Amino acid sequence: MKQSQLFTKTRKEVPSDEVSKNAQLLIRGGFVHKEMAGVYSLLPLGLRVVDKINTIIREEMNAIGGQEVFMSALQDPETWKKTDRWEGDAKDIWFKTHLGNGGELGLGFTHEEPLTNLMKNHISSYKDLPKYVYQIQTKFRNEVRAKSGVLRGREFLMKDLYSFCKTPEEQDAFYEQAKQAYTNVFKRVGLGDRTFMTFASGGTFSKYSHEFQTLCDTGEDTIYVDEKKHIAINKEVLNDEVLKDLGVSRDDLVEKMAVEVGNIFSLGTRFSDAFGLNFLDATGTQQSVVMGSYGIGPTRTMGVIAEVYGDDKGLVWPKSVAPFDVHVLVLESKEGADVHAYTEKITTDIEKAGYEVLYDDRGMTAGAKFADADLIGIPMRLVISDKHMRNNTVEMKGRTEADARVVTSSEVVGLLSS
Ligand code: ATP
Ligand code: MG
């Protein structure tokens, strides 16, 4: 991809109305466009990052039997009245709208109700179970405080998976698989070291739920971390009983601020009973389907990565989610040499080896190109000037490395994999 063709531009100035680091960097780097408080559009660079996060999530959900769907965002009030979540507790979180004929609709903030309703068409016998259904879809929430950039959007992406099982035992076994899949996801997006499976309140149907919390000084959640065991306890459930359950000593716990990037929850039969989602077991007896829900925020995950790894020069993407693998910068020739042709040949070789390249072919000063490369945060930078062309070399530097090294053009591809 030639940078001269990319419509996204970087900006020097920090948007005056944006207080969060993630939004400041993502806007300046040209990854997102702010529409209004808590509402962001994804530009090509931002979409590439989110797509990579989503691909990792899809692979891990498919590996535990997930089947992908894409449900409607517009919601029928009648569906939500069955669980008292049209008015009730969820009243303040809805964005609701009126139809021309006087009816009302809502913009979905989660999907337990419509999916439970939908599954009534597909589940009637024990032979239809278990089923694991997920989507990556836009959610709408009337968040009161939308000052944390893409960490807390009023419109945001969520991966939500719902499990439908015959028995609590079958549900528990899947729950354990989901824990592992979540651990894999956060490891693969580059947050493994600082993301902790965190014991939180379980609601009516189980003792605990599990949040996946990423350590982040600007996070809104307080958690207590046991570094050695690599687990944490949410402040809301920290008491003697949970310490005993987990075999954790209070002295080993350190208080930290964190951002919830994922959340897994046993729902029991709350939703299946409300909708009459039942099945006939092997003896012909009618039973309620046992459910669970499992969320991850892909846009929040992008924001946390920006927040925790970004430095004073700009974004720093882990390899697995970077918008491109390699950023190639050509410096304009002072000697009238065809340094562009030399650079394009190297770029083509790198692309043929399977790497995605952003090629900065713009006619700008070296300083301006370096500053943009630091701001955009692609993990590996190659610089090519007259001198390199003459010597058949390339300058290579990792985004967080202090010094560049000069290598021969034939070595480059081999060095990218190390
Ligand atoms: P929080 O306590 O931070 O509001 P939540 O408990 O409301 O989160 P869930 O309803 O469990 O979140 O949603 C599942 C996932 O969706 C969360 O773990 C998070 O990653 C993401 N998410 C939730 N709310 C937002 C939001 N307003 N903006 C971006 N992502 C969000
Ligand atoms: Mg919330």
Atom of ligand 1 nearest to the CA of 110: 10
Burial class (CB in 10 A: 0-12, 13-18, 19+), 161: buried
Q: Report the C-alpha gap between 60 and 180 in whole angstroms.
A: 9
Beta strand pairing call for 155-165 and 131-140: antiparallel
DSSP per residue, 27-47? HHTTSEEEEETTEEEEPHHHH
Task: State how far Cα 89 lies from the chain centre.
Answer: 27
pLDDT at 203: 84
- Rounded-to-integer distance, Cα 292 and Cα 182, Å: 14
pLDDT for position 204? 84
pLDDT at 331: 96
Print burial letters for 58-69: b (CB count within 10 Å at least 16), e (below 16).
bebbeebebeee
Which ligand is nearest to the Cα of residue 260, counting in written order? Answer: 1
Which ligand is closest to the CA of 234, given by its number?
1
**What ligand has the least distance to the C-alpha of 142?**
1
Check if 143 has its Cβ closer than 6 Å to any atom of ligand 1: yes
Q: Which residue has the tokens 């809104």?
A: 220
Residue whose CB lies within 8 A of the most ligand 1 atoms, among 300, 301, 305, for a mutation test: 300
153 lines ligand 1 (CB under 6 A): yes
Q: Are 199 and 234 in contact (CB under 8 A)?
A: yes
Structure tokens at 69: 């769907």
Place of tokens 């909708």: 275
Q: What is this structure's pTM?
A: 0.97
Cβ–Cβ under 8 Å, residues 407 and 394: yes
Nearest to 28 by CA among 329, 311, 321, 315: 315
Give residue 87 CA to ligand 2 midpoint distance, Å: 17
Residue with the nearest Cα to atom 13 of ligand 1?
A: 295
Q: Cα(139) to centroid of ligand 1, in Å?
A: 10
- Asked if residue 261 has its Cβ within 6 Å of ligand 1, the reply is yes
Edge-first strand order for the sheet with 380-384 is 357-360, 326-330, 380-384, 393-398, 405-408
- Distances from the Cα of 23 to the Cα of 16, 34, 38, 146, 300, angstroms: 11, 9, 10, 11, 11
Mean per-residue pLDDT pooled into runs of 10, the chain (418 residues): 93 86 97 96 98 98 98 98 93 94 96 98 98 98 95 98 98 98 98 98 91 97 97 96 96 98 97 98 98 98 98 98 98 88 97 98 96 98 96 98 96 93
Residue 192 has phi, psi (to 5 degrees) of -55, -45
| Ligand with smallest separation from the Cα of 263 | 1
Determine if ligand 1 sits within 6 Å of the CB of residue 262.
yes
Q: Whose CA is nearest to atom 22 of ligand 1?
A: 297
Atom of ligand 1 nearest to the CA of 301: 20
What separation in Å is there between the alpha carbon of 381 and the centre of ligand 2? 38
The pLDDT assigned to 418 comes to 78
pLDDT of residue 229: 95
* Angstrom distance (rounded) from CA 378 to CA 242: 42
